[in-house]
Structure 1
Amino acid sequence: MRKSHPKPRSALLIACFVALTAPSFQAFASDYTVKLVSVEDKKAVFATVESTDSIAARVRITGTITELTVTEGSQVKAGETIALVRDPKLGLQIEAIEAQIRAAEREIANIKTEQERAEQLFKRGSTTKARLDQINTQYDVANSTLEASQAQKAVIQRQLEEGAVLAPQSGRVLDVPITIGSVVMPGEPVATIAKDNYILRLSLPERHARFLEKGDPVEVAGRGSDCEGSCTRTGEIVKVFPKIASGRVLADATVDGLGNYFVGERIQVRVGAGQRDTYLVPLGFVFNRYGVDFVHSNGTDGEATDIAVQIGRTYQRDGSTMIEILSGLQAGDVLLQP
């Protein structure tokens, strides 16, 4: 009797069905054998929002603050005048020097008239060469005196201009330690200005220092949240400080979207701290009953039993969601899907 063969169209449909359903059979196997696996150990720590550069705008002359145009939180641009310092004595010095300049100009005019008269008398032989040289010398001295007074006036005018306190960089004002009417000395800060380019500064125990490297990823929690389920943003470590102080190591990480955070605000982050061995089981093998997590285990007598377990965080392995078992299981246990 002739055997029947499946039609090519039927064979193709069967092959497609097997290909589509095979991953499902593998992902939802009826049992799972517990074994130790190596995972990246991640630690949750707090990081502080810091500015990459914080520079103080400082006073350049002695005087009194007569104008202050910024306060904490103000946005400024580089070179913008944020305060004015005035010294009343500089105004008096300007007036005195201007009087000296006017006197020198009048003296020069008189000497110039006398010089012209002496030159005419010398041409007619009515005066000596020594007298003419003396007048010429007086004229040169008067000109030098005028130039010195003008230079001194320029110096004082420059000091008046330096009474303007300029923002050293663009950014946000963090602190303004003075008020209008304050007497200040050269070098005193008027305001501290932070760049808008913020970073996260991490402080970790020194035992984690050997695991930190430039370029390592950082998981960042949402504002006001912790890392349990909210570490949705990622950043990158850009600097690891080579010095350990008070048993802690510092590292800087860049993260997008920190522009509206406060400088000094604390955010929880998660960083890698080496490898460790643990138990991972498929998430579908764990169920909760009355607030306690359980798994179905195939006992030594072949009877299925429920075992209470303590669970940890989830991991992605080969496209499947695995959950860490902290206690309750050991290697070799066979779990049954509930």
Structure 2
Amino acid sequence: MNLRDLMGGAVAAILIGAAGASAAEPTLTVAERNVADEKAVFATVESISVVPARARIGGTVISLKVREGDSVSRGQEIATIGDDKLTLQMNSLDAQIQALQAQASQAQIDYDRTSGLVERGTLPRTKLDEARTALNVAENNLRAKTAERSVVQQQFKEGQVLAPDDGRVLKKMITVGSVVLQGDPIVTVAQQHYKLRLRVPERHARFLKQGDRIRVDGAEAGDAAAKFGTIDLVYPQIEDGRVVADATVPGLGQYFVGDRLRVWISSGERPAFVIPSRFIKTEFGIDTVQLGAPGKTIAVPVQRGREHPTPDMPDGLEILSGLRNGDKLVQP
């Protein structure tokens, strides 16, 4: 193997470890393989759904316990709505219940007295039936009014506006002191789980399908390593010359809803050399790799392309020329 043969290597293949060598091994064997021809598109971070937290009763907003950007959990109290009419109704019902309790107590006393007189033969049995009926009417009126009070008490509880799901508050619609009606939205909550919404030019539509892998640059994620995700849904309608698709990428919780990211998608396959960047040594502006075996290597110049990370090779780098199938690389 001479230098000329090495420089005439094919431009297409991917580096894999001989017999599945791990990233920690100092040697690798080059083997030709097709890789995804990635294209960069823009995607926006979208919530799975944005739901409003609504008022269940009408009234005046007494307190508001969240602001834009706050995280909330399902059932958490967001705001409190008060209605002075409910307090008046409650006071009125309490007074009526006290009156009915007194009537029921008096009806019970009358029934007991009439029952004793009937047993001694002083009064006819019809009087006992009348007393029993009066007692039943008083007790039923008391139960009905108590149930009516429970309804008003439940309306008091419904003055608490609760978060419909886990997520973040996107926008609040009211301030303390605002008058709201039943069903009015108080805040909007973006559900906790985010997706990426891609808009791909229609010329790439035939390459886009459910289950395809996508890649988000590490710089976009504020991390050194790239993030990988999967396309969940490709919408069947083309909008403004673009195909819309949704993708799931783990770790999108720190993004803002509506944030735009650069995403790499596959638009077919092509052959390419991709090697871990640790096998490349740069001196005086020239990139070289070490070929041979440990202790017996030669430096061969290569032409590097763009970064091409994969889940099993996070530091993958495309090589345009300088390698061919079967070359043995030694980590410098």
TM-score by length of 2: 0.69
Q: Does 2:137 match 1:158?
A: no
Residue 253 of structure 1 corresponds to 247
Q: Which amino acid aligns with 1:66?
A: I
Q: Does 2:301 match 1:322?
A: no
Q: Which amino acid aligns with 2:41?
A: V
Q: Which amino acid aligns with 1:249?
A: V
- In the alignment, the residues of structure 1 paired with residue 64 and residue 55 of structure 2 have an alpha-carbon distance, to the nearest angstrom, of 12
Q: Does 2:262 match 1:268?
A: yes
CA contact 2:307–2:318 (8 Å) conserved in 1: no
Q: Percent identity between the aligned chains?
A: 43
TM-score by length of 1: 0.68
Shift of 1:120: 2.1
CA contact 1:78–1:169 (8 Å) conserved in 2: yes
Is the partner of 2:151 in helix, strand or coil? helix
For residue 229 of structure 2, the aligned residue among 204, 216, 235 is: 235
- In the alignment, the residues of structure 1 paired with residue 86 and residue 178 of structure 2 have an alpha-carbon distance, to the nearest angstrom, of 18
1:109-136 per-residue CA deviation (whole Å, 9 max, x = no partner) reads: 1122222221222223222222221111
Q: Does 2:109 match 1:113?
A: yes
CA contact 1:49–1:199 (8 Å) conserved in 2: yes
- In the alignment, the residues of structure 2 paired with residue 61 and residue 70 of structure 1 have an alpha-carbon distance, to the nearest angstrom, of 19
Q: Does 2:74 match 1:85?
A: no
- In the alignment, the residues of structure 1 paired with residue 94 and residue 308 of structure 2 have an alpha-carbon distance, to the nearest angstrom, of 81
CA contact 1:223–1:267 (8 Å) conserved in 2: no
Shift of 1:313: 6.2
Residue 121 of structure 2 corresponds to 125
Q: For 1:51-66, list aligned pairs within 5 A.
A: 51-66=47-62
Is the partner of 1:27 in helix, strand or coil? helix
Alignment size in residue pairs: 261
Is the partner of 2:150 in helix, strand or coil? helix
For residue 208 of structure 1, the aligned residue among 204, 208, 219 is: 204
- In the alignment, the residues of structure 2 paired with residue 142 and residue 32 of structure 1 have an alpha-carbon distance, to the nearest angstrom, of 99
Aligned CA distance change for structure 1 residues 153 and 24 (closer, same or farther; 3 Å): farther
- In the alignment, the residues of structure 1 paired with residue 48 and residue 228 of structure 2 have an alpha-carbon distance, to the nearest angstrom, of 19
1:298-324 per-residue CA deviation (whole Å, 9 max, x = no partner) reads: xxxxxxxxxxxxxx96889xx97128x
Q: Which amino acid aligns with 2:56?
A: R
- In the alignment, the residues of structure 2 paired with residue 215 and residue 203 of structure 1 have an alpha-carbon distance, to the nearest angstrom, of 16
Q: For 1:1-338, list aligned pairs within 5 A.
A: 22=1, 26-29=5-8, 41-223=37-219, 232-274=226-268, 321-322=319-320
CA contact 1:51–1:263 (8 Å) conserved in 2: yes
Is the partner of 1:156 in helix, strand or coil? helix
Aligned CA distance change for structure 1 residues 108 and 247 (closer, same or farther; 3 Å): same
Aligned CA RMSD, in angstroms, stands at 3.3
Is the partner of 2:107 in helix, strand or coil? helix
Q: Which amino acid aligns with 2:252?
A: L
- In the alignment, the residues of structure 2 paired with residue 208 and residue 32 of structure 1 have an alpha-carbon distance, to the nearest angstrom, of 27
- In the alignment, the residues of structure 2 paired with residue 276 and residue 118 of structure 1 have an alpha-carbon distance, to the nearest angstrom, of 103
Residue 15 of structure 2 corresponds to none
Shift of 1:75: 1.4
Is the partner of 2:155 in helix, strand or coil? helix
- In the alignment, the residues of structure 1 paired with residue 198 and residue 184 of structure 2 have an alpha-carbon distance, to the nearest angstrom, of 31
CA contact 1:59–1:184 (8 Å) conserved in 2: yes
Aligned CA distance change for structure 1 residues 130 and 275 (closer, same or farther; 3 Å): same
- In the alignment, the residues of structure 2 paired with residue 320 and residue 26 of structure 1 have an alpha-carbon distance, to the nearest angstrom, of 20
Is the partner of 2:170 in helix, strand or coil? strand
1:274-304 per-residue CA deviation (whole Å, 9 max, x = no partner) reads: 4689x99xxxxxxxxxxxxxxxxxxxxxxxx
Is the partner of 1:139 in helix, strand or coil? helix
Q: Which amino acid aligns with 1:248?
A: R
Is the partner of 1:194 in helix, strand or coil? strand
Shift of 1:261: 1.3
Is the partner of 1:109 in helix, strand or coil? helix
Shift of 1:222: 4.8
Q: Which amino acid aligns with 1:257?
A: G
Is the partner of 1:121 in helix, strand or coil? helix
- In the alignment, the residues of structure 2 paired with residue 191 and residue 177 of structure 1 have an alpha-carbon distance, to the nearest angstrom, of 6
What runs of 5+ residues in structure 2 fail to find an aligned partner? Answer: 12-33, 274-304, 310-316, 322-332
Shift of 1:102: 0.5
- In the alignment, the residues of structure 1 paired with residue 225 and residue 125 of structure 2 have an alpha-carbon distance, to the nearest angstrom, of 97
Aligned CA distance change for structure 1 residues 270 and 68 (closer, same or farther; 3 Å): same
